[in-house]
Structure 1
Amino acid sequence: MKTLPTLGDEAVVLLSRQGGFAMVHALTRPREIEFAQCNLDQRTRICTLLEGCLPLTRESSGQGDQRFYQIEVRYRLNEQDDRLVLKVPEDQAPGELVHLWDKGEVL
């Protein structure tokens, strides 16, 4: 299973909803969260949410007409840029993830 790296000020979380019958960019409603703009409480809640999504991620998400949430975490590790991509099936997504995508704010 994947593990969540330590995320610092440079970390960025990109969240979108993908899949379905038709690929319509407006329906993905991508969100971008820059850790530099978040306070410690918000960062902690985002990291807790991401850790909860790790066991839910499926590479096979999006087959057929299934929607899924794609979470891309961009971060720096040992002076190099890196990224982690999670694909969480819509029907298994935690309510906090849906709220974050829908409202663009951390609970």
Structure 2
Amino acid sequence: GKVSDADRTHLLEHSLMVAYPSLYEGFGLPLLEAMAAHSPIVTTREGSLGEVADNAAYFVDAHDSDSIAHGIIDVLDGDTMRDKLIAAGKSRVKDFSWEQSETMLKEIIRKLTKDT
């Protein structure tokens, strides 16, 4: 069902981890939301998820339930793993800030209009 933005943020901030073993994903917005909320992530490399998550997630095989289960257990059992993923997520989510998007867009426009 529908969850308000405030409730979603609260849930993510108080989650031990986010499991997102998607088979088909256009863009990994739920991953960025989890990173912003400092939740470690277990996900797949399907679609854009590997590129979005980069090194800020524990990757599993979406077609293998044992792989997914082991990923969840590994993240929940190890504070070191959780801390590493949370730190990587805090850093990675900054790459998707409005400021970063503005900088990249300005550079693209500059390159496209350089010879005009």
**TM-score (normalizing by structure 2):** 0.27
Structure with a larger share of its residues in strand: 1
Higher helix share: 2
- Higher RCO (C-alpha 8 Å, min separation 6): 1
